[in-house]
A and B are shown apart, each in its own frame.
Chain A
Amino acid sequence: MIVRFIDFFRNRMTMTVQFCYGGLALLVGIDIILGLSGGKHHAHTWVEHYIPGWWSIFGFVSCTLIIFVSKWFGHLGIMTREDYYDD
């Protein structure tokens, strides 16, 4: 059952991707509506209140930063061959 469920989406990849993009747009839309309707009273900082979709930007930038900075750091010599300590 689990495999069939997964295969259902894998076999319809274009639809799945479009569905996901739709979900992302919906999230940003809800955030904007929350901002306009005064639903952000739990927000702690200025940026959360006044930048629409702030946490979307934050999530995407964080992910990108983590990937690129980590890989850059790794390729400075931190990542090395597996038998490095066997010498």
Chain B
Amino acid sequence: MMIDLWIHPAAIMVIGAFLLPLVRGHRIIRNVYLLLVPLLAFIDVLTMDKGTFGVMQFMDWSLTFGRVDGLSHVFGFIMTLMCMVGTLYGMNTKGVKEIFAAWLYVAGSLGAIYCGDYIVLFLFWELMAFASVFLVWFRGRKHSLAIGYRYLLVHTFGGLVLLAGLILRYQATGGDISFGPIGVDSPSLYTYLIMIGFILNAAVPPLHAWLPDAYGEATVAGAVFMCAFTTKTAIYALARGFAGMDILIPLGVIMALYGVVYAVLENDARRLLAYHIISQVGYMVAGVGIGTEMAINGACAHAFAHILYKGLLFMGCGSVLYMTNKSKFSDLGGLYTKMPKTFVYTLIGGLSISAFPLFSGFVSKSMIVAAGFHDHLLWPAFLLTLASAGTFLHTGLKVPYFIWFGKNNCSEETWEKAADPPLNMQIAMAVAAFFCIFIGCYTPFLYNLLPYPVHYHPYTAYHVIESMQILLFTALGFFLFIKKLAPEVVISLDLDWFYRKGSKVFMWIARKPIQGFDTLWSKAYRVAGLVPLMFTARFWSWFDWHGIDGVVDGSARLVGYFAEKLRWMQNGQVARYLSFMAGGVFVVLVLLFTSL
């Protein structure tokens, strides 16, 4: 008999997380455990056969926890790989709470990737939001709590929209809960609701402002996890359900440009990187919208490459934050002598995201743009290429230049603290940097993982020259107009303005008109209601005391008096009885005689 033993990688992460507080003793034991759990999950993913596993009957529903196919495999592979890198990077955090939250977050992502129905998807979708918020809260700054709550509320809203879509779909299809292509050719209300739930997690404007808000505030290691999992799981969900949904093409292009524009304005390195996630995820969203095999391959390949290079960039800027406690360009500069290795790793991330030949972005991003050109979508393809110039401008040039070169804005304390980070953080960056270059140099590694056969060759002379021209002439523009890009000590208002200021309006309404009315009502009640009520109460109290109590107490006292007298008379002395009897006879006789 063959035993169908399928272990869900999310289960490994959840069990690993809950056992984590029990792992005590020498630091080496803890570190081995920290590496072992994500490694086991990674091996689990590598050794999985394709097929459907983990099917459970729950009430009327057949829930599928393990759908292993080409699409889920590529995402499962990169998520578990990034979990290893992120855990290695965050290993030196004090306590285990950050890793605990991060592993549950990864479990949420893996659960959503491998599920086969909407109920399981929703369950893990929410786990992602509720676990990842702790990575913001654990930063422990004054604003962290509020930012975490904003993040959670936005994702709860997205989850509710998704749930509404799922329920409507369930009703419309007569109980179908399977998660697959949703039918983008004949969209209905539930199609759009489910799509909104997904694109909120993909940070598509106008539903994007949670991303820079939360990722800029997350802990050093937390941001490395966050930059990988939420948006890319959403891309997986979109690729699974919404391939070929036309509206995603313009939305993706808007994302790509939106992130670039805000990255110009940003003074905080990690918020800049966060805006660039929006830009890069825009390529993937557009790829899903194009929907051809080449475009879906491109979206998956770009998600894969993006997780590594964006993780690397967040690790680089996180290292600066970890060592100096600063992340704003206006507080940094000239650090290449103090943090040279971190600079090199961050630069590799920057070159990868900018799609330099021999780096990972070159073999992934261009596949989406080429798919656009192949489909004669010239405007989207040109605008995505324009955005790629912006990518190099910010992430490849602005970030490294204003942290490691440029004007030295460091305080004496910052300069003293600045140094390359601890070894584990350096190794994590080295691993990510290795993969960024390996993927760029050896394309079969990534292309063989993609869900469809790849017929795309990035290394043609024309494509290399095209990319180099765009990139190096962008660099020319950067150095010519560098003064325009000098850091300004400002923040940029984004669409979160509406709910951040909106919440202030809400609080004002709660405090002023509503609480004011409540106070007025209380006063009116006191005057018109409470005073007469108290008067009446006092009267009845008086009446009770003097009237009722007087009668009752008087009767009681009377009864008591007579009882006392009777007791005195009935003391058992015969002489006293006879004298009373004689007295009584005398009184009766006197009464008789006087009445005659």
Q: Which residues of A contact B (CB under 8 A)?
A: 2-3, 6, 20, 23-24, 27-28, 30-31, 34, 39-45, 48, 53, 55-60, 62-71, 73-74, 77-82, 84-85
Contact = CB atoms under 8 A, between A and B. Distances in A.
Contacts of A74: 264-265, 490, 492
Contacts of B337: 3
Interface of B: 260-262, 264-265, 336-337, 340-341, 343-344, 373-374, 378, 381, 385-386, 389-390, 393, 460-463, 465-478, 481, 484-485, 488-493, 500
A82 B489 contact: yes
A23 B373 CA distance: 28
A60 B393 contact: no
Contacts of A31: 465, 469
B459 to A, nearest CB: 11
Contact of A59 (B264, B341, B343, B474): B474
Q: Is the interface of A mostly helix, strand, loop or mixed?
A: helix
Contacts of B500: 85
A31 B473 CA distance: 13
Given A2-B341, A42-B462, A71-B484, A60 B491 contact: no
Nearest to B457: A42
Given A39-B462, A43-B462, A56 B473 contact: yes
A48 B373 CA distance: 12
Given A34-B462, A74-B264, A80 B469 contact: no
Given A73-B261, A80-B491, A84-B493, A53 B469 contact: yes
Contacts of B493: 77-80, 84
Given A44-B381, A82-B489, A84-B491, A66 B393 contact: yes
B265 A66 contact: no
B393 A81 contact: no
Given A58-B385, A62-B386, A80 B490 contact: yes
Q: Which 4 A-B pairs have the closest CB atoms?
A: A63-B477, A59-B473, A70-B264, A62-B389
B257 to A, nearest CB: 9
B580 to A, nearest CB: 96
A39 to B, nearest CB: 6
Nearest to A42: B462
A63 B473 contact: yes
A8 B265 CA distance: 32
Given A60-B473, A64-B481, 19 more contacts: A2-B341, A20-B475, A24-B472, A34-B462, A43-B462, A56-B473, A57-B473, A58-B386, A59-B474, A67-B393, A70-B262, A71-B484, A74-B490, A78-B265, A79-B265, A80-B493, A82-B490, A84-B493, A85-B500
A34 B461 contact: yes
Nearest to A45: B378
Contacts of B492: 74, 78-80
Contacts of B336: 2-3, 6
Contacts of A85: 500
17 contacts: A20-B472, A27-B469, A27-B472, A31-B469, A42-B463, A45-B378, A55-B469, A63-B393, A63-B473, A63-B476, A63-B478, A65-B386, A67-B481, A74-B490, A74-B492, A78-B492, A81-B491
B490 A70 contact: no
B108 to A, nearest CB: 29
A44 B462 CA distance: 11
| Best-buried of A66, A81, A84 by chain B (most CB within 10 Å) | A66
A79 B389 contact: no
A66 B389 contact: yes
A55 to B, nearest CB: 4
A63 B462 contact: no
A67 B484 contact: yes
B490 A81 contact: yes
B390 to A, nearest CB: 5
A49 to B, nearest CB: 11
Contacts of B478: 63
A19 B17 CA distance: 53
B469 A2 contact: no
B389 A71 contact: no
Given A3-B336, A77-B493, A67 B485 contact: yes
Nearest to A2: B340
Contacts of A73: 261, 265
Nearest to A55: B469
A77 B472 CA distance: 32
Contacts of B474: 59-60, 62-63
A26 B490 CA distance: 40
B212 to A, nearest CB: 13
Contacts of B485: 67
Contacts of B390: 62-63, 66
Given A80-B493, A85-B500, A24 B477 contact: no
